[in-house]
Homo-oligomer: A and B are copies of this chain.
Amino acid sequence: MGRTKAKPGVKPGPKVGKDRRQEILAAAAQVITDRGLSETRIQDIAETCGVSTGLILYYFESKDRLLVEALTYANDQFYLRLSRELRKNPSARAQLDRLIELSVPGLLPEFQFLDEWALWVEIWVRALRDPEMAKEHEVLNRRWRRSIADIVRHGRSTGEFPEGLDADELGIQIGAVVDGLAIQVLMDHGDVTPDDMLRVSRDVSAKLIGFALEPAGA
Q: Are A141 and B189 in contact (CB under 8 A)?
A: yes
Q: Which of A166-204 contact B (CB under 8 A)?
A: 169, 172-173, 175-181, 183-184, 186-187, 189, 191-192, 196, 200, 204
Q: Which residues of B contact A207 (CB under 8 A)?
A: 207-208
In the assembled complex, A138 has its CB within 8 A of some CB on chain B: yes
| Cα–Cα, bound, A180→B121 (Å) | 12
In the assembled complex, A124 has its CB within 8 A of some CB on chain B: yes
| Cα–Cα, bound, A192→B192 (Å) | 26
In the assembled complex, A134 has its CB within 8 A of some CB on chain B: yes
Q: Are A173 and B200 in contact (CB under 8 A)?
A: yes
Q: Are B173 and A196 in contact (CB under 8 A)?
A: no
Residue from B125, B129, B141, B204 within 8 A of A125 (CB atoms): B125
Q: Are A127 and B187 in contact (CB under 8 A)?
A: yes
Q: A181-B176, A196-B172, A204-B208 are in contact. Are A128 and B118 (CB under 8 A)?
A: yes
A-B pairs with beta carbons under 8 Å apart, 28 shown: A35-B129, A36-B128, A38-B38, A38-B125, A121-B124, A121-B125, A122-B125, A124-B183, A124-B187, A125-B125, A127-B187, A128-B187, A134-B187, A141-B187, A141-B189, A141-B191, A145-B191, A172-B181, A173-B200, A173-B204, A176-B176, A176-B177, A176-B200, A177-B177, A177-B204, A179-B180, A179-B183, A204-B208
Q: Which residues of B contact A137 (CB under 8 A)?
A: 187
Q: A189-B141, A208-B207 are in contact. Are A129 and B176 (CB under 8 A)?
A: no
A111 to chain B, nearest CB (A): 16
Q: Which of A5-59 contact B (CB under 8 A)?
A: 35-39
Q: Which residues of B contact A134 (CB under 8 A)?
A: 187
Q: Which residues of B contact A39 (CB under 8 A)?
A: 129
Q: Which residues of B contact A200 (CB under 8 A)?
A: 169, 172-173, 176
For the complex of A and B, 9 pairs with smallest distance between CB atoms:
A176-B180, A179-B180, A180-B180, A38-B38, A176-B181, A138-B189, A36-B129, A121-B124, A176-B177
